């Protein structure tokens, strides 16, 4: 398989207010996909098409966070709840977050054990809004490595008065919002395993195909259409009957020939 190198392309630019110093935990974080409608939760996942990724592909997703409290707070973003079935695939998947105009470090998802900080320290003022861009890349995988593997992850976002760096990068902290990064399982997109046979054209013979042609001969052939009982126990009568009929026809022909011979001899 041709080697492909991964590249992560992320746009990052957040309109932020003046630099502030967070002095107390704000206690309020709202999220939005469009930067207009906010709520305490975000439906769906950030990356919708990641399951189709092949080596060298990237995916991007964005959201907005708003500080609904009366005080500013430090923004902290962690990668968490990482699970995977194939280590090669997991090592090839990397993520990167950009917030507050600051680009975080690109890391493999295997580093999040149980969590890993993607970005922290950006100040969000009271009623302020910040945009977060998250990207994922699938790096090089040789041959069949990673095929059939799956991976999952989520994003934890929090606002607090904790001094940036006071928690270790692997400390999950207490996220205000948890958002799925993937809609389900991330798989290597080059694998295709159909679970069902394709529907057949009329007349094709595919096992268990509901579209198979139906013979309408039914009872005319002595077949029970519900059980497909072919009455095979009576088939032995077919050769027996043929033997009897053949013997009778042979007797008739022999008798007629003998009679004709006798009549010829009498005439002579």
Distances (CA, A) of 185 to 49, 50, 188, 238: 11, 9, 10, 62
Name the band, by pLDDT with cuts 50, 70 and 90, for residue 147: confident
Least-confidence region, from 14-18, 143-147, 201-205: 14-18
The enclosing H or E element of 124 equals strand 115-124
Report the half-sphere exposure of 55 (CA within 13 A, side-chain side): 19
**pLDDT over threshold 70, residue 10:** no
Peptide linkage before 73 cis (omega within 30 of 0): no
- Percent pLDDT > 70 in the chain is 68
Q: Which residues pair with 78 in a beta bridge?
A: 117, 156
**pLDDT over threshold 50, residue 25:** no
- 3-state secondary structure (DSSP) of residue 59: strand
**Tell me, what's the pLDDT at 214?**
47
**Tell me, what's the pLDDT at 24?**
37
How confident is the model over 93-112, as pLDDT tens digits? 999 999 977 899 999 999 99
Name the band, by pLDDT with cuts 50, 70 and 90, for residue 28: confident
- Percent pLDDT > 90 in the chain is 40
Average pLDDT, stretch 54-83?
Answer: 93
**pLDDT over threshold 80, residue 199:** no
**Two tokens, residue 165:** 């760096």
Contact assessment for residue 65 and residue 34, using Cβ atoms and an 8 Å cutoff? no
**pLDDT over threshold 50, residue 195:** no
- pTM for this model (two decimals): 0.60
**Tell me, what's the pLDDT at 263?**
73
**Tell me, what's the pLDDT at 203?**
41
Q: Which residue has the higher pLDDT, 24 or 144?
A: 144
Q: Where do the H-state alpha helices sit in 54-209?
A: 87-92
How confident is the model over 202-246, as pLDDT tens digits? 444 344 444 444 445 455 555 555 555 555 666 667 777 888 888
**pLDDT over threshold 60, residue 83:** yes
Q: Which residue has the higher pLDDT, 84 or 249?
A: 84
Report the half-sphere exposure of 134 (CA within 13 A, side-chain side): 28
Q: Which residue has the higher pLDDT, 185 or 45?
A: 45
**pLDDT over threshold 60, residue 3:** no
**Tell me, what's the pLDDT at 143?**
85
């Amino acid at each position: 398989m041709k080697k492909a190198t991964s590249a992560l392309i992320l746009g990052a630019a957040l309109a932020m207010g003046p630099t502030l110093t967070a002095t107390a935990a704000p206690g309020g974080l709202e999220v939005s996909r469009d930067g207009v409608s906010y709520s305490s939760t975000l439906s769906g996942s950030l990356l919708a098409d990641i399951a189709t990724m092949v080596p060298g592909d990237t995916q991007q997703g964005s959201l907005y966070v708003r500080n609904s409290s009366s005080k500013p707070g430090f923004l902290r973003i962690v990668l968490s709840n990482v699970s995977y079935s194939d280590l090669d695939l997991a090592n090839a998947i990397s993520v990167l977050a950009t917030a507050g105009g600051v680009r975080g470090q690109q890391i493999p998802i295997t580093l999040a054990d149980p969590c890993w900080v993607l970005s922290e320290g950006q100040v969000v003022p009271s009623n302020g809004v910040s945009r977060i861009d998250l990207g994922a890349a699938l790096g090089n995988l040789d041959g069949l490595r990673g095929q059939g593997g799956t991976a999952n992850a989520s994003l934890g976002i929090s606002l607090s008065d904790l001094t940036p760096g006071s928690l270790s990068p692997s400390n999950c902290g207490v996220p205000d919002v948890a958002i799925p990064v993937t809609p389900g399982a991330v798989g290597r997109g080059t694998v295709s395993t159909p679970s069902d046979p394709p529907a057949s054209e009329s007349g094709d013979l595919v096992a268990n195909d509901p579209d198979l042609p139906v013979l309408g001969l039914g009872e005319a052939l002595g077949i029970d259409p519900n059980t497909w009982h072919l009455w095979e126990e009576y088939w032995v009568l077919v050769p027996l009957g043929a033997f009897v009929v053949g013997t009778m026809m042979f007797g008739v022909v022999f008798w007629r020939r003998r009679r004709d011979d006798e009549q010829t001899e009498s005439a002579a």
